[in-house]
Structure 1
């Protein structure tokens, strides 16, 4: 391929990515304005929640002037009145006294950003995202933040997206793009040119995490080692993992429908036995689930009747369990103890 042809391809890809970012920014801004200007549809508390008390942090999707803002409810009363903050995020996660917020900044050129806050709301660090915000997680001790952004596409459908996932330190610096880590599948190092990595979940120690690695139409649950800079496969067909609080199981979404339109069921893998249990939620769950406790999972689902509105559902991590509504008009939950 000549230099001229390579530059032509690069220019074309740049135009596509830029057009996608602008289009997403415009859509996001219009949706935000419409729902911001609607009447408030949930009970909002006038008191600030004590950040040291057990609670659930999430993105408020209820109509009204708090739409898109970070909100909290007491862990003991998830259906009660919510406290709505001034922080606006597309995706949010909190742990260890640190809150990660991925956001869109609409404009002539739409930009995307990751911002990190302390539990008292003080801004700690920020960095630009290369594309549309998708996933974020914070390590249990609050010192590491993972962020995933779409650089092409906007959904995890086969062969239609590319991601960039990085892990940064709150104190500064980080580990860079996880695609640069060594990928080991079946005991062999592989270097696919179309590799994607996304959906980090952290273990309690200071070096281990889990994530999804993909090449072509295959996905693997991988164990990451920050010090060795490796990603080692431990299970196939698993996306957006979430490690249980006791570290014994991993929940993830599992595509059970081959073809261009995926259908994701929730599955749980026992790390000691390798047994996988597919849960009874029949709707497609395109989310990174969160553990409420060692027995129950939380996840977001969009409302079919309202664009831009979502609900958080719960389900026991056992075969045959039925899903239940957990928090209405909410998205991207994290359980903070």
Structure 2
């Protein structure tokens, strides 16, 4: 064998080894991202409600798909309780639960249902609700469980050539509605405006039952707005913020930041005092969800598995380059209850 043949053979071996290593690495990464983890055994809701927990929408491809479930906060990958309540979106706070659901029929209808938990382990009781004008998108409840928001997709707005726009309403659970937030006074960059193409979505509430934050979109731009329920006013305070979520300590907003094309979203955190934003670049997949806070340093979000109907709840530390991990398999729409 000539020296040239020997070198060529060695090169082939090296290239083959490199390609094999790359393929194995890609497979490992794909397995990490899609997560073949399945939900563990089930337990009773009364058992889960004895302590802090995560409420979510079960996404396993079984008879309980779409039903509300719960896991213990200290064992999120462990045994889960699955209820009879079926929701497209769910959220909970204190002893209140919001369920947005589609009632399918010849003509589909949409409904927001408010439920209350009188004591841990006891049956959830329906205490209020409202018909929705479109497909469920987002829901949130204030920290004390008294206010609830719902965002839906609608069509038919005169300024829309195609696609959907949104409607967002804030109500007191089992009481007064503040109505469509598009009717609130809107202040953008210090100037009062009334654009016909405004869309508002993704509510998150402060502690005082008056202040909230929302995304306002108009003229091709998205803004973070601070809302005042009593003054019926929205005032923008930052740009390029979608689906905000206020941290437990009230100092930061977690959100999804769109790329220039508006087709991919990356989790990010905004410091309300300084305006400094941290993009959580460790998550390389597009996150089209309203983020939830697990604690002051960790966020949660739902992420669909590639090519599947199943999604998982992922956890990500708020440092810029942290690595995401599956926290609750076969789940979406998480809410942390302490």
Query: Would you say 1:288 and 2:286 are equivalent positions?
Result: no
**1:66 Cα deviation (Å)?**
1.3
TM-score (norm 2): 0.83
Preserved contact between residue 89 and residue 99 of structure 2 (Cα < 8 Å): yes
| Correspondence 1:126-141 to 2 at 5 A | 126-141=129-144
SS at match of 1:48: helix
Which runs of 5 or more structure 2 residues have no equivalent in the other structure?
1-37, 118-122
Alignment equivalent of 1:75, drawn from 73, 76, 89: 73
Alignment equivalent of 2:206, drawn from 193, 203, 212: 203
| Correspondence 1:1-337 to 2 at 5 A | 42-46=40-44, 48-51=46-49, 53-119=51-117, 120-152=123-155, 160-258=163-261, 262-280=263-281, 281-307=283-309, 309-337=310-338
Task: Give me the whole-angstrom Cα distance separating, in 2, the residues matched to 1:41 and 1:334.
Answer: 17
Task: Give me the whole-angstrom Cα distance separating, in 1, the residues matched to 2:313 and 2:219.
Answer: 31
Distance 1:92 1:47, change over 3 A: closer
**1:159 Cα deviation (Å)?**
7.5
Preserved contact between residue 159 and residue 216 of structure 1 (Cα < 8 Å): no
Higher-Rg member (1/2):
2
Distance 1:41 1:82, change over 3 A: closer
**1:45 Cα deviation (Å)?**
1.6
Preserved contact between residue 91 and residue 135 of structure 1 (Cα < 8 Å): yes
**1:306 Cα deviation (Å)?**
1.6
Preserved contact between residue 39 and residue 78 of structure 2 (Cα < 8 Å): no
Distance 1:294 1:47, change over 3 A: closer
Task: Give me the whole-angstrom Cα distance separating, in 2, the residues matched to 1:159 and 1:211.
Answer: 24
**1:201 Cα deviation (Å)?**
0.2
Preserved contact between residue 41 and residue 64 of structure 1 (Cα < 8 Å): no
Q: Deviations over 1:31-63 (max 9, x none)?
A: xxxxxxxxx964222463353521000000012
Task: Give me the whole-angstrom Cα distance separating, in 2, the residues matched to 1:283 and 1:114.
Answer: 30
TM-score (norm 1): 0.83
**1:170 Cα deviation (Å)?**
1.2
Q: Deviations over 1:106-146 (max 9, x none)?
A: 10010000001012400010111100000000000000000
Kindly report the root-mean-square deviation, in angstroms, between the aligned alpha carbons of the 2 structures: 1.6
Preserved contact between residue 91 and residue 103 of structure 1 (Cα < 8 Å): yes
**1:256 Cα deviation (Å)?**
1.4
